Structure 1
Amino acid sequence: MSDRLSSGSRSIAIVGPYLSGKTTLLESLLWVTKTTSRKGTVLDKNTVGDSALEARDRQMSIEVNAASFEYGGVRFSILDCPGSIEFAQETYNALIGVDAVVIVCEPIVDRVLNLAPLFKFLDDWEIPHLVFINKMDRADIDFMQVLKALKSISSRPLVPHQYPIGQGESLTGFIDLVTEQAYHYHPGAPADLVPFPEELKAREQIARSEMLETLADFDDHLLEELLEEINPPHEEIIQDLKMELGADLIVPVFVGCADRDFGVRPLLEALLREAPDPETTAERRGIVLNDSAPIAQVLKTYYTPQGGKLSLVRVWQGTIHDGAVLNGVRVGGLYRLCGQQQQSLQTAQAGEIVALGRMEGIKTGDTLTSLEAQNAAELPRAEQMEPVYALAINAENRNDEVKLTGALAKLLEEDCSLHWHQHGDTHEIILSGQGDIHLQVALDRLRRKYNLPMSTHQPQVPYKETIRKKATSHGRYKHQTGGHGQFGDVYLDIQPMTRGEGFQFAETIVGGVVPRQYIPGVETGVREYLAHGPLGFPVVDVAVTLTNGSYHSVDSSEQAFKQAARLAMQDGLVKCEPVLLEPIVRITLSIPTDFTSKVLRLVSGRRGQILGYDAKADWHGWDEVLALLPQAEMHDLIVELRSLTMGVGYFHWEDDHLQEVPDKLAERVLQSSANGNSNGNHNGKSR
């Protein structure tokens, strides 16, 4: 086989909700393959996955961790992916680069819904995936009920590969539904063959029939055998499982208990036999393997204290050599990762996931090619998640502010679901992302990696103000010093405009009462005053017309007319009944149908206006709620939404319009500002 393809490799991602045990499963895989000499635990903070300090502090996955081992003559590259929705971007970026995915879940029906977004992503991208139901040693587990719940969130049929054997409240073994052989688990050792438990025969037959009938939907020969009541050979069933998993037509289901290594070896054997090879995956991605020029894609970017920048890549075609030039950048080191450990390599083959050193200017999602393959198409990348939670940040030490921009740039390279900007009205530095934990992890990294401790607060609401009626005002600026004085004199007509029209300046000067060269100064003075109106906020939707004035042939200047205009605005705007405006956003909330009524109450309770709701396209059992919501009510909306929807609800939003703040609320906002909180940071909540 040519070096453009190595079927002796498999790339596998392990995913699952928080506390499902996926990092423990990785530890078990590494231990049973003798890759590690001891098995770490999350509680002891010594696992290969979750190796970052921020992950160990929280005992949860916050970024993709890579590991590798050999088993059965195949090199496995494993990606341990975050389970929290707040770090889903990390997971999605990684999933597009693997051959298959192991979904780890607990045998609790009520928690299965947490997996719905993940199943949807895998189904949409047609990524082969199987399920490992972990922690099967818990009491009162109904395997068939858990299987039914999983089926309700998958658009692919689930195929049970095993049936659990229990004794009392303990998981003792399993029945292989392919061979119909029973096995007994042993801690730290492979399961051994035991007599078939006859009391489970009826239930095993139901599960096996379901498996074979599902496979027969895609195999006419197997269907004929079943119709003729011929028991198909084991090899035929395995081949069907391999072909249909590789084509993402079915989702095989396995059981076990990772912290005791139960079921881990059968899962590993199934991955060895049935997971698609790199060539099949490349074809599914639309990559035509027609030459040996290297093609790779960046799945994750790290900045390490010792080695600097590392780009974790999936090699899709060809061989990558240390020192090779990809996208015009020389590879400054080639490594196989196992948590924080790095093993130097000279080459990496197609199908492997490795780290490239010092790839400056290369970002997560980029397609990397050599000069020979520079015409290769850009590989698709995971959709960018929009921010839903924000904090305003300040360096605790003002001398650190100059370093902050560079540190944030690196932080965003590592985690592309983070965003930052400096708000044009409030001048705050806003860091936004997918939730409070997400941002706290980012702040921890700023402190630990870049020695930049931050203080935070809720972002200011960018209130505006406008006027309700028109008025005429006069401003005269006269200042006399020892030499030339300053003189400017203007009359202004001020009137409200339709909401959203912004600002308009005009002049109707006749007879040269205000010389042309001074009129720009008048407009500048008006604009400068509108930046901070009588209520303390920027003024919008106002038209100002210069109608009259006078000047002095010696003392007048553009600066003097600017000051006169400011005085006229200061006097006139108060007469125009200024009112406070708040930004209103248009928001689309996506939630399971069972929670729609609760979400409608949530939006209404935050002064929202429901525009309607309907079934969500291509999402079985989900609704979309469309609403208008004051931005002041947005800060912790995602927290409450997830709390109401078992962690799976999400939303998209965009700025829509400005709207008058209700009088009582406006009084509280203005009082807050007058009492020294010039931020105008009242959140407007009346609950």
Structure 2
Amino acid sequence: MLYSTEAIRTIALLGHTASGKTSLTEALLHGSGMISAPGSLERGGTVADSDPLERKYRHSLYSALIHLDYHDTRIHLIDTPGYPDFIGQAVSALSAVETAAIVINAQNGIEMIAGRMMALAQQRKLCRMIIINQIDADNIDLPGLLASIQETFGKECLPINLPAAGGTRVVDCFFNPSGDRDAGRTDFSSVEQAHRTLVDQVVEVDADLMALYLEQGEIEPEQLHAPFEQALREGHLVPICFVSAQNGAGIQELLDVFVKLLPNPTEGNPPLFYREDLSASSTEDRQREIRSVPDPSQHVLAHVFKLMVDPYVGKLGIFRIHQGTVRRDSMLYIGDARKPFKVAHLYLLQGKEQIEVPQGVPGDICAVAKVEDIAFDAVLHDAAEDEHIHLKPLPFPTPIYALAIEPKKRGDEQRLWEILQKMTAEDPCLKVEHQIHTNETVMLGLGELHLRCALERMMEFYKIDIATRPPKIAYRETIAGHAEGHHRHKKQSGGAGQFGEVFLRVESLPRGAGFEFVDEVKGGAIPGQFIPAVEKGIRQALEAGPLAGFPMQDVRVVVYDGKSHPVDSKEVAFATAGRKAFIDAVLKARPAILEPIVNIEIVVPEQTMGDITGDLSSKRGQVLGMQTVQGNTVVISGQAPLAELNDYQSRLNSVTGGRGSYTIEFSHYDPVPPPTQQRMVSQHKVEPEE
């Protein structure tokens, strides 16, 4: 069945691990009649967790695309992982939906990932809602949890239904102003109070409706639809729904909320596209914001937010259509590519199942297979003039947990590299570096489990045996000052020689700014055709800094003078001169080694709190806050150098008797202590240059 854009809803289920997102997805599929019975995580029979590794670990590792049809509406759901190591999959889903639904476990309360995804969704101007799951569990305090949500996320978080009969059913508070008097009272609060608070919040965005409300004392729910959508768009309302994926309480009511109250693509905030003008001088002019129109008759704009690479099926590109209609056999361009590809087959995804469809309209989430040039974050379009359109980048966490890897079998080096390219194409938080100073291939991820799953996938799916070495810390080098550098490269060995001379200066940039190259050469002192060679040489030096061989960052290089020879000047000469002039300047500019500092959140029994905070402080860590959560459990927030957290789980187990856990995420880079820098510099062996 084909659906119009107005009959489509797109929702990402987000939240911490064990909040019940996958079980909720199963319950929604069952409640809508899409499956005969909900699958089980324990038995590995869910639609969303179809990967063998997900069945092995019994929680989601990848985002799963689901669609369901309910009351003449197509609902696209993205079930995302909640484990911090796989948060990149959840972040990428934000670019594909109108609504971010934050799922909170009623027993565990607000956890780290829930808070982080609420903030990211707000930054992307998505409509947000909260789903409190497992309302039938033992030892829960739903009124206390509601108060905690409002204290943490704001008073705009309001219940749209309430639990009743001990969490075995829920009562609507929006379309049912007088309450469900015949079926008994709600477990806490009242329908009338919840309804009144909702209406008060919604009418605040519409002055005329507020005047009518003050005059009449009541507003029909049908009159509230447009201001309700406006309140969602503006973040003035975050509705809360109560459900139990286990016993089905609130599932039908949640489906009704999806259909009747959540925005369709014409009602949500437009996606953050911009057009890049490479000829413009300023950043503001270079990136001009544009607005897509969710109109099926317009030219196509779609965004690739997920890739899947199957060793048997090939590459599958999954995209959200924001404008126009994508039809089978139509021609689409990928980004600034000059040659379009043919949409031979167009699919909707139902977990691992691919369902062929004739077309997709704005709001649809579709997939194409075996298009080798398709890439993550690419914009698909059918008009050549749209080649420089991009979506505002997503704030992915920085991978900092590293392993040096190599194939066990000699001769598999090239095959390993090809496999790594496929895997990093799938996962925006999995990176691969070749470290020149150690001649090692290093894989970086968000945590130990992230890398372990990547290695298992390589061995099980790609049948390659991998040897690994202990985690390496992703140190970096930078400069703390500014200085000038110079090098003349002159080489004569019979026949044509090599000549290039470069004068430059280096300046420090704010932490995290990266690298800037500025050409201020006047009068053709360095001919224009050789400036890219100078930059190339400098970028080569950036890969292995002169102090200890770590990649350099946060440096601006200004090339301002040089000399050339009409016969002997070549690109290789200026690349060499640029590299050595850069090294000369860096060594004069107070070079420093940087180490990654991570945010750490430690969950421990209350009685071990003092031992844990003392241990963290002894590791150059800093305690930033503590919060008591369910029972006698304490959450300790802080920062620490990643280098000090090697085998931290073992230390945590020793102190807490195995009852402690922790999560980390990259925060920033800081200089290492001077004694550490001296030791690292002395251990670095510099290969002599020819």
Scaled by the length of structure 1, the TM-score of the pair is: 0.69
Q: What is the CA distance between 1:164 and its match in structure 2? A: 1.0
1:264 aligns with 2:275: no
Question: What residue is the counterpart of 1:578 in the other structure?
Answer: none
**Aligned equivalent of 2:332, options 314, 319, 325:** 325
1:120 aligns with 2:126: no
- SS across alignment from 2:87: helix
Question: What residue is the counterpart of 2:348 in the other structure?
Answer: 336
- SS across alignment from 2:416: helix
- SS across alignment from 1:146: helix
**Aligned equivalent of 1:604, options 590, 597, 617:** 617
**Aligned equivalent of 1:287, options 288, 291, 300:** 291
CA distance in 1, matches of 2:417, 2:353: 30
Matching of residues 237-252 of structure 1 within 5 Å: 237-252=224-239
CA distance in 2, matches of 1:641, 1:277: 47
In terms of mean alpha carbon deviation, does 638-647 or 146-155 score higher?
638-647
Q: Deviations over 1:230-280 (max 9, x none)?
A: 132232344443332244331111111112222111111111111111123
Q: Number of paired residues? A: 541
CA distance in 2, matches of 1:180, 1:646: 45
CA distance in 1, matches of 2:159, 2:473: 52
- SS across alignment from 1:398: coil
In terms of mean alpha carbon deviation, does 341-350 or 149-158 score higher?
149-158
Question: What residue is the counterpart of 2:597 in the other structure?
Answer: 587
2:230 partner letter: M
Q: Deviations over 1:493-513 (max 9, x none)?
A: xxxxx9999x9999xxxxxxx
1:255 aligns with 2:242: yes
Q: What is the CA distance between 1:311 and its match in structure 2? A: 0.6
Matched-pair contact (CA < 8 Å) for 1:175–1:181: no
1:234 partner letter: P
Question: What residue is the counterpart of 1:371 in the other structure?
Answer: 383
Question: What residue is the counterpart of 1:216 in the other structure?
Answer: 203
Cα distance change on mapping 1:155 and 1:361 into 2, 3 Å = farther
1:77 aligns with 2:79: no
Matched-pair contact (CA < 8 Å) for 1:163–1:177: no
1:171 aligns with 2:156: no
Matched-pair contact (CA < 8 Å) for 1:104–1:132: yes
- SS across alignment from 1:314: strand
Cα distance change on mapping 1:37 and 1:329 into 2, 3 Å = farther
Q: Deviations over 1:624-678 (max 9, x none)?
A: 9787x4x742545799999999866533333735733599x99xx99xx9xxxx9
CA distance in 1, matches of 2:611, 2:72: 53
Cα distance change on mapping 1:198 and 1:399 into 2, 3 Å = closer
Q: What is the CA distance between 1:8 and its match in structure 2? A: 2.3
Instruction: Name structure 1 gaps, 5 residues minimum.
Output: 184-193, 465-497, 507-536, 541-580, 615-621, 679-687
Cα distance change on mapping 1:60 and 1:20 into 2, 3 Å = same
Q: What is the CA distance between 1:32 and its match in structure 2? A: 2.0
**Aligned equivalent of 1:354, options 350, 355, 366:** 366
Q: What is the CA distance between 1:42 and its match in structure 2? A: 0.9
Matched-pair contact (CA < 8 Å) for 2:14–2:114: no
2:90 partner letter: T
Matched-pair contact (CA < 8 Å) for 1:586–1:653: yes
**Aligned equivalent of 1:633, options 621, 630, 644:** 644
Cα distance change on mapping 1:500 and 1:11 into 2, 3 Å = same
Cα distance change on mapping 1:164 and 1:229 into 2, 3 Å = farther
Percent of residue pairs bearing the same amino acid type: 22
CA distance in 1, matches of 2:28, 2:549: 62
2:85 partner letter: E
Question: What residue is the counterpart of 1:401 in the other structure?
Answer: 413
**Aligned equivalent of 2:314, options 308, 314, 325:** 308
CA distance in 1, matches of 2:71, 2:55: 32
CA distance in 2, matches of 1:386, 1:639: 24
Question: What residue is the counterpart of 1:654 in the other structure?
Answer: 669
CA distance in 2, matches of 1:242, 1:445: 43
Matching of residues 473-492 of structure 1 within 5 Å: none
Matching of residues 461-500 of structure 1 within 5 Å: none
2:417 partner letter: T
Question: What residue is the counterpart of 1:146 in the other structure?
Answer: 145
- SS across alignment from 2:306: strand
Structural RMSD (CA): 4.4
Question: What residue is the counterpart of 2:90 in the other structure?
Answer: 91
CA distance in 2, matches of 1:451, 1:360: 22
Q: Deviations over 1:501-531 (max 9, x none)?
A: 9x9999xxxxxxxxxxxxxxxxxxxxxxxxx
2:176 partner letter: T
2:365 partner letter: I
Question: What residue is the counterpart of 2:469 in the other structure?
Answer: 457
- SS across alignment from 2:34: coil
Question: What residue is the counterpart of 2:573 in the other structure?
Answer: none
Q: What is the CA distance between 1:173 and its match in structure 2? A: 3.8
Cα distance change on mapping 1:651 and 1:538 into 2, 3 Å = closer
Cα distance change on mapping 1:398 and 1:199 into 2, 3 Å = closer
Matched-pair contact (CA < 8 Å) for 1:246–1:275: no
1:633 partner letter: E
Scaled by the length of structure 2, the TM-score of the pair is: 0.69
Q: Deviations over 1:110-132 (max 9, x none)?
A: 44454110111011111112112
In terms of mean alpha carbon deviation, does 23-32 or 170-179 score higher?
170-179
Matched-pair contact (CA < 8 Å) for 2:271–2:292: no
Cα distance change on mapping 1:366 and 1:281 into 2, 3 Å = farther
Cα distance change on mapping 1:395 and 1:346 into 2, 3 Å = same
Matching of residues 523-672 of structure 1 within 5 Å: 584-585=594-595, 587=597, 589=599, 601=614, 604-607=617-620, 629=641, 632-633=643-644, 635=646, 650-654=665-669, 656=671, 659-661=674-676
Q: What is the CA distance between 1:600 and its match in structure 2? A: 7.3
In terms of mean alpha carbon deviation, does 56-65 or 445-454 score higher?
445-454
Q: Which has the higher Rg, Structure 1 or Structure 2?
A: 1
Instruction: Name structure 2 gaps, 5 residues minimum.
Output: 273-289, 489-546, 551-590, 626-634, 686-690
CA distance in 1, matches of 2:5, 2:392: 22
Question: What residue is the counterpart of 2:446 in the other structure?
Answer: 434
1:650 partner letter: E
Q: Deviations over 1:30-73 (max 9, x none)?
A: 12222223321111101110111111111111111111122222
Question: What residue is the counterpart of 1:474 in the other structure?
Answer: none
Cα distance change on mapping 1:332 and 1:446 into 2, 3 Å = farther
Q: What is the CA distance between 1:171 and its match in structure 2? A: 2.5
CA distance in 1, matches of 2:170, 2:157: 21
1:359 partner letter: V
